[in-house]
Structure 1
Amino acid sequence: MYYKSFLTAIVLTIFIASCQQKTHTASTYKIDKSLTAAATPLEKDLHAKLHNPTSYVYQAQDGRLYHVYYQTDPQDQRVLIETPQAWFSLPQRETWAKGAVYEAEAIRWEVQGDQAQFKTEDQTLLLQQRSPLVKNYANDDQQIKITTTLENRQQYVLLERKDADNLKLALESKTPYKSTYSNDSAIWIEKDYKALLIINGVQNCFELKD
């Protein structure tokens, strides 16, 4: 028990030192989740960044989810990645209009649009962005911006409308062709390229404009 605690302290000390570096040299860190307790201040900070609405969620072909946070500090642009087994931090190496490469040692994260490729020593994974996803709907009278997010494994949509309060609705049901979100006063239904908004019984139809 003492040896495990001592090992954890060493790992966290190295991790903190890496976080404090303001450099684009080959500073990277990896924390194996099996070595650390779940309630350390460092892990709470990582969890807060990786699980807030501004973070991203990608899904691998086997269904596993990868939480990703893009750090935009001009002096330390990097990506934080949470896999099912560990946390990683990689400095940015290259960027272009709709993509970037983050890399250190044998670990590489490359993002292009809503797709990502994650390379480690053992494997290469192709991932698809699942959150946030932004779509725009409209009818003759109004436009709605829809942002789909995944928060603590619950899917939501945020409806943003001009001259109206924003609405946040939780996923109620989903099929390959239809998704239904709701709260106490509103229902949002997406089906193919159309959507239906029901507020207090009043219905409005919309079409996808992207």
Structure 2
Amino acid sequence: MQADAATFDRITQALKTAQTPSSDFDLNKDAHLIAGLKTRPAGVLCALQEVEGSLQVILTVRSSALKHHPGQISFPGGKQEDSDADVVAAALREAREEIGLPSDIVEVLGCLPAHQTVTSFQVTPVIARIHGDFIVRPEPGEVAEVFRVPLAHVLDASRYSVQSRAWRGEMRHYFTVPYGPYYIWGATARMLRVLAEAVGQ
């Protein structure tokens, strides 16, 4: 996808109309549990960076030592702390800490509806444009790897599939959108699919 003003205008307008929240329960029979869950706010940054004329999404491989979602692919981000003004501030702070992304080169385009996880987080995906380049510095102990995926890949609905695996004695279904050696699945894939649906409308 060529990076130009029209592309970002299209994404920004799509974010204004995306109204349907998502959750890890979307494809599973226990969706009724959402109403009873006590959740904690969190923010993740879906950062779009132009690389050689192509828009790329920055993703991370989480450390295998983490308590929540170890070894999985995710956006930079985390729970909102008391010092954060809101979930957007939390996403920007976490991106600074996790991958060394300076907040002063980040232009927030908007947010997708919050995504509820089975680990009781209410995660707001913050979509942003990166102006210029930066030195990636993965946070030791939290981030095992930082990589990029073409935005065109994750906006293509045909790239997604629904798969399943056993979790706590039950089969749970989830979206996947693999890219090369990277198995993007679960909450990250679900949020990317919401973005694809919004931009594709």
- Bin the TM-score by the shorter chain: under 0.3
TM-score normalised by L of structure 2: 0.24
TM-score normalised by L of structure 1: 0.23
Structure with the bigger percentage of strand: 1
Higher relative contact order (CA 8 A, sep 6+): 2
